[in-house]
Structure 1
Amino acid sequence: MARPNQPPRGATIVDVAARAGVSSMTVSRVINGRSGVSAATRDAVEEAIRELAYTPNVAARSLVTSTELRIGVIYSNASNAFMSEFLTGVFEEASARGARLSLLKGEGGRPPPAAAIEEMAASGISGVLLAPPLGEAPEVQRVLREAGCIRAAVGAYQSPETICVRIDDRAAAYQMTRHLLELGHRRLGFVLGNPDQAASAERMAGFYAAVRETGGVDVQVAQGDFTYVSGLAAAEQLLSSASRPTAIFASNDDMAAAVVSVAHRRHLDVPGELAVAGFDDTTAAITLWPPLTTVHQPVRALAAEALGLLIAEIAVRGGKSRVPRESILDHGIVERQSTAPLSADPS
């Protein structure tokens, strides 16, 4: 029978933190005997542990003194196709390197709650890998910074605190836009990505850089957020124009697939009456008709590279790190059947 005032069995580190009035990070420091905790705070945490009959996870505790690698992977990406590629790259690299993975997913495209991230950070993980867009999420970065977590991010831009692995989004978008212009298109639509992500701004900058080099180009822009649904709305906006584009470049494959869907619904031939291009080269690019011309972003390789650099940084923790803070992988333009030269009569 439980003693009076004793909570049910199975108290977590979050329960201990709440009882002691401190963060989960502080509880973790006390449990693992780390410095940076005052005597009064340490006493409060230890008292809460006794009151709650909390037993730290033995496997998590062993990570403090063993060479076992346990990597936290935090993700919340609206594109299922992108995440499938990302996680495949992570799983393959983790298997090759003997690392265990702990996954934490945010819902609805939003980051996981801060408390969930704190609990993961306090569980004994060696480092954290962030899928886009979480490498640029201020609250996620704040929690991990306060926890002292080593971290790497895919798709994020240079940060002194985080290893960033990406492609050159601006150059990739420039090259795709040049491809459309070289096909003769002069009425271009562009679907923007999530405005909270640096990659979106870089892709837009690349698009406009190509346009500025060519005279007589009419540009129409619609806002998206990298989701298929946002691509539908953007396509409706662009294709409802009195002078509709003859080519639309969407900032990812999911939104490009949505553009193709709306074009079909409006009985527009792709690419005869409308050329469509995407970005990522995920499975979404080859599972619709016609298959998408797109920017090849090596998502699996990006994920594997980020995990490899994270593990290298973990290995030298406490010493002078020589691990690159930023790694930029190659991209390419993949031409498929969704783009074609401008017809003689673009109306």
Structure 2
Amino acid sequence: MARRRQAVTIRHVAADAGVSLQTVSRVINNEPNVRPEMRDKVQASIDRLGYVPSIAAQRMSGSRSYLILALNDRERTIADWRARQGTDWVDQMLLGGMLECGEQGYRLIFELVDTHNDHVERELAAAIAALQPDGAILTPPHSDNPKIIRTLAHHGIPLARIGAQADAAGDDLPGTIVVTMDDEGGARIATRHLLELGHARIGFIAGPAEYALSARRVAGWEAELAAAGHAVDGLLAEGDFTYASGAKAARALLDRAGRPTAIIASNDQMALATADVARDLGLAIPDALSLVSFDNTPPVRFTRPALTAIDQPIAETTATAVRLLIATQRDGGMPTEPVLIPMGFEVRASTGPAPRAT
């Protein structure tokens, strides 16, 4: 029977290069305190032997796990997966996080936790004990949850909080990075686009209050309308990011006297619901109602008409969070101010000139 080929290990590399295991480990981990000629010598042995570093080898120094823990909301994530409605927040988060981790020699571990679980501290403590991550990424609404923030900080885990409020509980703790997409700026761009098309009554369907980003988006919409001299009274409705809530909010806006001629919805599901309500009411898009969405997930590109959308740079935001967490491990220090990632904007067929008054 043929013998199984022995795997190449860090010890083989050290023996081939004639250096210590610690030197090979420092080269693998791209640490700065290695002479260039020694780095080249070790790298030549790695290439010659076909050695592929493992996390176990990277952990030899004992100070790092080379794992980044990404936490997302359990209830909403599972509901979206089961509904199979094309929501791609998690996909984009994993894309940005995994690619950046791969570039840096790390691994991304994805975990779901329940914001409303009374035992969340115990749940997190178990994950930390098992994984010993070098850092954690918190997504909304966890990024503003004091219990989760303080539990991770208590265990000494550096945090990157995506979409967090600048003044949320936990900002006084060391090891906290805030990376956020420019939600207010995105709402401003969308509102300005509609104003330039001649719309004055621009409705807004907000997300739930537990998400800090919801208030920022409302603030951007209000600011642009106020700057243009237009009132917002009666033009704001709230949903919870689900299709059903979007339909309810859209009907409340479109059934009122002096209905809006344009609506901005805070996510794609609520925007798609708004489009369906408009059709039920006989309002053609964009002739009678212009519509803008947040997210820019695949469904809004293929509906008819395709929806104008604010594009959330989720992958770029997560990659930035990973990069900053790893930089704190390698170089020390971290940003003291929130890192703001600009939103994109895709104009499609769902927005047009404001209808003439009759």
TM bucket, shorter chain = 0.7 to 0.9
Query: In structure 2, how many angstroms separate the alpha carbons of the residues matched to 1:64 and 1:190?
Result: 53
The aligned residue for residue 88 of structure 1 is 95
Question: Given that residues 65 and 133 in structure 2 are in contact (C-alpha distance below 8 angstroms), is that contact kept between their aligned partners in structure 1?
Answer: no
The aligned residue for residue 349 of structure 2 is 337
Query: In structure 1, how many angstroms separate the alpha carbons of the residues matched to 2:348 and 2:355?
Result: 17
> Offset at 1:68?
4.1
- The code of the aligned residue for 1:174 comes to R
Choose the corresponding residue for 1:288, options 303, 306, 311.
303
Structure 1 residues without counterparts, runs of 5 or longer: 1-57
Structure 2 residues without counterparts, runs of 5 or longer: 1-54, 81-86
1:137 aligns with 2:151: no
Question: Given that residues 150 and 314 in structure 1 are in contact (C-alpha distance below 8 angstroms), is that contact kept between their aligned partners in structure 2?
Answer: no
Query: In structure 2, how many angstroms separate the alpha carbons of the residues matched to 1:200 and 1:192?
Result: 6
Choose the corresponding residue for 1:327, options 339, 344, 347.
339
Query: In structure 2, how many angstroms separate the alpha carbons of the residues matched to 1:63 and 1:74?
Result: 26
- SS state of the match for residue 180, structure 1? helix
The aligned residue for residue 123 of structure 2 is 116
Query: In structure 2, how many angstroms separate the alpha carbons of the residues matched to 1:125 and 1:344?
Result: 59
The aligned residue for residue 101 of structure 1 is 108
Any idea what the Cα deviations from partners look like across 1:273-332, whole Å, max 9, x if unmatched?
11111123233431322222122221110110111111111234xxx5154552112223
> Offset at 1:198?
2.1
> Offset at 1:172?
2.1
Choose the corresponding residue for 2:70, options 55, 70, 73.
73
Query: In structure 2, how many angstroms separate the alpha carbons of the residues matched to 1:333 and 1:307?
Result: 25
Any idea what the Cα deviations from partners look like across 1:100-149, whole Å, max 9, x if unmatched?
22221136x85783322121122211111112221111221121122221
Percent identity at matched positions? 34
Query: In structure 1, how many angstroms separate the alpha carbons of the residues matched to 2:254 and 2:188?
Result: 23
- SS state of the match for residue 302, structure 2? coil
Question: Given that residues 312 and 323 in structure 1 are in contact (C-alpha distance below 8 angstroms), is that contact kept between their aligned partners in structure 2?
Answer: no
> Offset at 1:83?
2.2
Question: Given that residues 127 and 149 in structure 1 are in contact (C-alpha distance below 8 angstroms), is that contact kept between their aligned partners in structure 2?
Answer: yes
The aligned residue for residue 22 of structure 1 is none
- The code of the aligned residue for 2:88 comes to A
Aligned length: 285
Query: In structure 2, how many angstroms separate the alpha carbons of the residues matched to 1:140 and 1:245?
Result: 40
> Offset at 1:259?
1.2
Choose the corresponding residue for 2:324, options 299, 303, 309.
309
The aligned residue for residue 172 of structure 1 is 186
Seen in structure 2, the aligned counterparts of structure 1 residues 185 and 174 have a Cα distance that, compared at 3 Å, is: same
The aligned residue for residue 189 of structure 1 is 203
- The code of the aligned residue for 2:135 comes to G
Choose the corresponding residue for 2:133, options 111, 125, 136.
125
1:227 aligns with 2:242: yes
- The code of the aligned residue for 1:197 comes to Y
Choose the corresponding residue for 2:212, options 198, 213, 225.
198
- The code of the aligned residue for 1:271 comes to P
1:32-51 counterparts in 2 under 5 A?
A: none
Seen in structure 2, the aligned counterparts of structure 1 residues 262 and 114 have a Cα distance that, compared at 3 Å, is: farther
- SS state of the match for residue 222, structure 1? strand
Structure 2 length-normalised TM: 0.72
Query: Over aligned residue pairs, what C-alpha RMSD do you find?
Result: 2.7
Structure 1 length-normalised TM: 0.74
